[in-house]
DNA sequence: CCTGTATCGTACCGATCGGTAACATTGTCA
DNA sequence: TGACAATGTTACCGATCGGTACGATACAGG
């Protein structure tokens, strides 16, 4: 049996004998570059150079640049719901506090120089074609976000849960975008406050 | 024989100088392609091909592709404030109705297949570098939008005008983005309703 | 040892990127 | 008509795009 010192974190197959050493470095570097500077702006040459590998190594682990971009977004997706679930777990049974915690965190994250917003949102803007592998991941992520927000609006006892859930989604997307548009001191810092106002106005009297 | 079938609409007189016959076609085509498919996704070759001209014609009227993109956004900017001012003019002295009219219009525009959101927002996502000519135009447009929304929040008598103005901006940006993410039936259709709820909750009691 | 297997890197592909030099064509007025 | 200036066109540039053929290399089990 192989040493198995490195556990494969992407549950591909149950093959324990697939330790793609280069693949992880490539994905890590691609994640950083794609997120910070955009997918279209980054060429595969720069990725392999920064990762210290060569191009064939990239194409042995990923069938194309588009699929590498999709892998980046799948990784982003996992971390996204981790953060979301943390906010939920911090306030059991209190959806309003859960939302507030999640949005407060988003508002804080937007208040740094060179904030780049949501990788999912950015990818969808870069690829209008609905069949693009990256966009498929992005749209699925947003559908799930919408589903959760609407469910939480129900749990909060909103008069019109779908409208409130969608309103919260609009505020969140607005925070991602205005965060990268305005930088420090931008409108995104008020996302939690505005969301709370909107929630208050949407509850059954 | 120069049949002169192409009318010159810029200069008075029958046969005055014909300044930018090609430039206008180039900008028109670039506007459409840049908006629908993204700036980075479109090459200058495709622009000149669709415009029925050649590359040197483009580079005689525009110093670079980046500057052509900036020109596209300046045109977008003019039309943007035209639409904004129309909503304002439709309800003199009633900022709340002005906002509602503007957002109702946005909400409607988002409810078409392949809606592509706001050209300004998209350009900023495509070009994270603050010094890029296209981004400079985009950021100026958003700063002006923020300024107007905050001023209208003051005029509405909000308890905290800056927060309300920024909240409206978040909803608007969210509508642009979710409009292109979700297509028909997406959250963007509720932008006007949510904005009105937020306004109601933000007025001085 | 030998041999199979899998990952590695060198070198290269055609296509396209943004941009330009040099030339042909055109309209205008003296 | 002749001369000028502006515009349009052909052909091309080096750089980079995403992607690959193929040989070198490392390492396992017999």
Tokens of A44: 């595969």
Q: Which of B41, B127, B171 sits opposite A171 (nearest CB)?
A: B171
With a CB cutoff of 8 Å and minimum separation 6, the contacts of A24 are none
pLDDT in tens, B27-51: 999 999 999 999 999 999 999 999 9
Tell me the β-bridge partners of A203. A158
The angle formed by the CA atoms of residues A105, A158 and A139, to the nearest 5 degrees, is 55
| Confidence (pLDDT) at A21 | 73
Between A and B, how many residue pairs show a Cβ–Cβ distance under 8 A? 165
| Confidence (pLDDT) at A30 | 95
| Confidence (pLDDT) at A2 | 30
Shortest CA to C1' contact from A46: nucleotide: D16
Shortest CA to C1' contact from A48: nucleotide: C9
| Confidence (pLDDT) at B22 | 79
Q: Which residues of chain B have pLDDT under 50?
A: 1-18
Work out the average pLDDT over A63-84: 96
A91 CB burial (10 A radius; 0-12, 13-18, 19+): middle
Whether A15 contacts A7, CB under 8 Å:
no
Q: How far is A70 from chain B (nearest CA, A)?
A: 16
Tokens of A27: 């994905």
* CA distances from residue A141 to A71, A137, A170, A198, B168 in whole angstroms, order as listed: 13, 6, 15, 24, 24
From the CA of B20 to the C1' of C23: give the distance in Å: 22
| Confidence (pLDDT) at B12 | 25
Strand D contact with B19 (CB < 7 A):
yes
CA distance A91 to A155: 13
| Confidence (pLDDT) at A204 | 76
| Confidence (pLDDT) at B181 | 97
Strand D contact with B2 (CB < 7 A):
no
Most A CBs within 10 Å, among B34, B39, B173, B186, to test the A interface: B173
The angle formed by the CA atoms of residues A93, A98 and A102, to the nearest 5 degrees, is 160
| Confidence (pLDDT) at B145 | 98
Instruction: List all nucleotides in chain C with at least one atom under 7 A from a protein Cβ.
Output: 7-12, 16-22, 26-29
| Confidence (pLDDT) at B200 | 96
Instruction: Calculate the CA B125 to chain-centre distance.
Output: 14
Percentage, residues of chain A above pLDDT 90: 83
């Amino acid at each position: 049996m192989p040493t198995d010192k490195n556990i494969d974190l992407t549950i591909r197959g149950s093959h324990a004998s697939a330790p793609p050493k280069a693949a992880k470095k490539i994905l890590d570097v691609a994640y950083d570059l794609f997120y910070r500077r955009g997918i279209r702006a980054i060429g595969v040459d720069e990725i392999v150079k920064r990762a210290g590998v060569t191009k064939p190594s990239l194409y042995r682990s990923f069938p194309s640049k588009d699929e590498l971009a999709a892998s980046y977004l799948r990784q982003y997706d996992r971390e996204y719901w981790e953060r979301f679930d943390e906010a939920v777990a911090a306030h059991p049974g209190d959806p309003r506090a859960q939302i507030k915690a999640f949005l407060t965190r988003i508002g804080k994250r937007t208040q740094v120089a060179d904030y780049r917003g949501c990788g999912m949102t950015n990818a969808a803007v870069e690829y209008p074609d609905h069949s693009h592998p990256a966009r498929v991941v992005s749209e699925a992520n947003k559908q799930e976000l919408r589903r959760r927000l609407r469910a939480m609006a129900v749990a909060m006892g909103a008069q019109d849960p779908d409208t409130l859930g969608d309103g919260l989604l609009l505020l969140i997307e607005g925070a991602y975008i205005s965060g990268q548009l305005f930088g420090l001191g931008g409108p995104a810092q008020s996302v939690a406050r505005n969301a709370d106002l909107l929630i208050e106005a949407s509850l059954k009297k």
